[in-house]
Amino acid sequence: MQYSGWPDAGELVVGDVDEITDFGVFVDLDEYENKRGLCHISEVASGWIKNVRDHVGEGQTVVAKVLEVDEGSQQIDLSIKDVNEHQRKEKIQEWKNQQKADNWMEIAFGDDIDDERYSAVANAILAEFESLYDGFESAAIHGTDALEDVELDDEEIEAIVDTARKNVSVPYVNVTGYVDLRCPVGDGVDRIKEALQAAEGDDVPEEIDLEVTYVGAPEYRIRVQAPDYKTAENALESAADRASESIVADGGTAEYHRERNEDEE
């Protein structure tokens, strides 16, 4: 969905080169409805420019910085040279994410969703998240819990979560740790099994995948997959703590470490 207003000075915008002249290039702004900017030849690239076409081509997608906006004369002055490579890549990714979010909105609420409803839903999400994309990604990871503070009704939230779960590719990270469990009592094996069950937990959040496997006595591997490293590390340490508390309570010992003890193979 395109914005109906005007960009602000200093803002980075994405657009397609529509026309090339001797004095510069005209750019159709992809994010703004019926808005076109001019990038003067002096703002296309650094240094002396002999031929503008050596630097940009018609139909090319560019990222430009808004230098000045004159709504009265319907003029937007742009600079392509003031955008570095890092800013360009970051803005292009943001723009692509916004296109994906627009598509997800149509999937969730129908491709005939009117501007008024789109804006109402979008504004509710943006009140809690930096972008629509962030809102859908969080919904894919955390489900309805992610939208509990968003002012939408249950049906709208369910539509967003269902769409997110089916369409959003969630980035996951994996971390691994090891715990050595010993219990020198008659039923020590059973006590260790109970400790491993404690490590797996009964209330692990649904966005976390936690697995405990046998490596070789007395070592057990704990693998965690989660949306980010902080969440994964916390889940890993919590699992190890649960195993330790269980085995120690039964008269055993536990030792947690991140690397394998090769000498115990």
The structural domains of the chain, with segments of one domain joined by +, span 12-82, 87-167, 173-264
Asked if residue 260 has pLDDT above 80, the reply is no
pLDDT tens digits, residue range 9-66? 999 999 999 999 989 999 999 999 899 999 999 999 998 888 899 999 999 999 999 9
- Report whether pLDDT(170) > 90: no
CA gap 47, 54 in Å, rounded: 13
pLDDT band at 195 (very low <50, low <70, confident <90, very high): very high
Q: Which listed CATH number (2.40.128, 1.10.3470, 1.10.760, 1.10.150) goes with 87-167?
A: 1.10.150
Q: Looking at residues 225-236, what average pLDDT do you find?
A: 89
For the segment 104-136, what is each residue's pLDDT rounded down to a tens digit? 999 999 988 888 889 899 999 999 999 999 999
Examine the pLDDT at 85 and tell me if it is beyond 80.
yes
Selected residue with higher pLDDT from 40 and 145: 40
Please report, for residues 85, 124, 212, 232, the alpha-carbon distance to residue 228 in angstroms, rounded to integers and kept in the order given: 26, 25, 20, 6
- Over the chain, what is the mean pLDDT? 90
**Structure pTM?**
0.63
Which range (26-35, 174-183, 251-260) has the least confidence? 251-260
Q: What is the mean pLDDT of residues 179-194?
A: 89
Give whole-number Cα distances, 234 to 108, 177, 196, 211, 239, in Å.
33, 12, 17, 14, 9
Whether residue 239 has pLDDT greater than 50: yes
DSSP output for 118-185:
HHHHHHHHHTTSSSHHHHHHHHHHHGGGGGTTS---HHHHHHHHHHHHHH-----EEEEEEEEEE--S
CATH of the domain spanning 12-82, picked from 3.30.450.20, 2.40.50.140, 1.10.510.10, 3.30.1780.10: 2.40.50.140
Thinking of the domain 173-264, which architecture would CATH place it in? 2-Layer Sandwich (3.30)
